Amino acid sequence: MKTPPVNPTGSATPEALGAFFAQCAAEARTAGRPQLVSISVVVDNLDPLAVLESIFEPGEPHFYAERPAQGFGVAGAEVAVEFTAQGARRFADAKAFIAATLANTIAVGPLAEPFAGPHFFFAAGFADEAAPGAAFPSLRLFVPRWQVARMGDSTVAVANVLVAADAPLEMLTARIWRAHAKFGAFDYSRAKQKDRPSAPRMAEEIGGSGSYQRAVAQALTEIARGDYQKVVLARALRYTTTEEFHPMGVLNHLRQRYPDCYSFSIANGKGQSFIGASPERLVRVAGGRMHTAALAGSAPRGQSASEDAAFAQGLLHSEKDLREHRLVLDSIAGRLADLGLQLEHATQPRLLGLANVHHLHTPVSASLPAEAHILDLVARLHPTPAVGGAPQEPALAAMRRLETFPRGLYAGPQGWVDHRGGGEFFVGLRSALIDGRTATAYAGAGIVAGSEPEKEFAETELKFKALLEALTQS
C-alpha cells in the first residue's frame, strides 16, 4: 500500500483534492490497473449507527458492528471494491484478493488512528458453499465507499474510491469534497425514524413442530454409540408481521440491551439484512497479538438475585457444561497447533453474564509471528465446536443430516480485515435474516452426553425470546 506524505483535505480546497486525484490517475496509468484511493479524516464525535440511519438505502450493501462495552462502533456502506468466493479455499482466496488490492492502494490521512485506512468487511456463511437461492454467497467482502468508526474518544471518517487512468476527476473530486464537508459537520435530520413492528401474527417452525426434539434424541443415540462427542443443533423460526422489519429500527435496541455483545447488521443491497447481537468473538488480531475465546455451556438468568446466583453457581459446577466447554478450549489449541503459538488462558472458565443468559467463558490470547494473517486464524478456527461440534467431520456431517434448513450466515464468521493484516471477527449468533415482513431467526444448543431434548429446546426458546423482543414490540 502506498502512503504518500500528502493531506488532500488539509488545505481545505477542492483544487488540492482534484490535484491529488490527478496524481492517483497517473499512478493508475503507470501501474496498468485502477488504484483504490482511501482518504481518512479525524472528525468530531459521530455515532456510526446514527450516520447509517441518516443515509441508509435498502438498495446498497452495508456493514455495521458495535460493541459498546469495548467502546467501538463501525459502519460502512456502498461499494468501492468487492469480492466473492466459495469452497474450502474461500478464506485463502480472500486473503490473496486483499493482498492484490492493497498492492494497488493509495492511502492518505492519519493512518495510525483506529479504523483509519481501507477496511475489508466480510459476510461469511457457516458452510463453504451457499444453498441455491441464498440471500448471501458463502463469502463476500467489500471495501465501502464511506466508513465511519468510533473507538473510545476517536472518530474517523474514511472515503474509498476506485480511480482508473481515465477517471472523471471533476466528478470524483466533487463527490468526495461533498462527503468531506458532510462528515465534518454531520446533519442527522435526514434520518427517518423506523419503529420495530408489532408482535408477529405467525411464527413457523422450519422443519415442523417437534422436529428439533427428534433431532436431539437422534444425536444422543449417535453420541452414545461413539459417532462423535458433541454436535450443535440449531432451530429456525420464521416470524411474519403486518409491518415490514427494518434493521435501523432494531439495532439501537440491541446495542442498548446487550452492551457486551456485537450488535450487527449486514445488508446485501437487495433488501435483505442479517442482524443480531452476538456474544462470541471468533478472533481479534491487533498489535502482534491474537485474542479468541472459548464460549460454551449456559444457564438462564434468575428472577431474583439469589436465584440468579444459584443458576450461576450451578453452571460453574455442572459436569456436563464444563465438559462441553473443555471440548471447545481443546479444539482451539488443536487447530492452532501448527502455528506454534504459546496460548495463554486461565485454567478454569469464568462466567459471562448477559441480559438473558449465563455462559462459561475462557479468553485465550497469544503473540503472533510476523507472517501470520487474521484470515489464517479464521480458516483454522471456524467452525468451533461451540457452533459445530467435535470431532469436527462426523459432527458436521450429523448437523447437515439432522438440521432442516441451510444456516446461511448464521454461526458464520463476520467481521473485517484492516490494511495491516489485523482485524476482528465474531460469530453470527443470536441472529435473524430479515426480508420485508418476515424474519427468520436462528438459535442452537450444544448436544453432548447427558443432554435432554426438552431442556435443549427450552434453551433455544430462551434465545428466541430475547431475539423476538429486539425484533418487534412484543
Element holding 242 (H helix, E strand): none
Residues 6 or more apart from 132 whose CB is under 8 A from it?
none
Write phi, then psi, for 375 (nearest 5 degrees).
-70, -25
Cα–Cα separations (whole angstroms), residue 420 to 79, 322, 357, 417, 424:
21, 37, 36, 8, 12
Active-site residue (options: 95, 194, 230, 463): 230
- For β-strands 350-353 and 357-367, DSSP reports them as antiparallel
- R_g over Cα of the chain: 23
114, 115, 118, 121: CA torsion to nearest 10 = 140
Grid coordinates given for 279: 456474544
Decide if 230 is catalytic. Answer: yes
CB contact at 8 A, 149 and 115: yes
Cα–Cα separations (whole angstroms), residue 447 to 88, 278, 370:
26, 20, 38
Buried b (16+ CB within 10 A) or exposed e, 373-397: bbbbbbbbbbbbbbbbbbbbebbbe
Decide if 113 is catalytic. Answer: no
Residues 6 or more apart from 183 whose CB is under 8 A from it?
41, 43, 46, 51, 146, 148, 157
At 313 the three-state DSSP class reads helix
d(CA 104, CA 355): 45
Query: Exposure of 209 by Cβ count < 10 A (0-12 exposed, 13-18 middle, 19+ buried)?
Result: exposed
CB contact at 8 A, 284 and 291: yes
User: Residue 430 CB: number of other CB atoms within 10 A?
Assistant: 29
CB contact at 8 A, 122 and 413: yes
d(CA 322, CA 106): 49
Query: Nearest-5° angle of CA 428, CA 268, CA 261?
Result: 25
**Nearest to residue 219, comparing CAs of 428, 31, 389, 37?**
389
Active-site residue (options: 53, 78, 280, 324): 280
Residues 6 or more apart from 152 whose CB is under 8 A from it?
71, 72, 114
N residues, the chain: 474
The residues annotated as belonging to the active site are: 230, 280
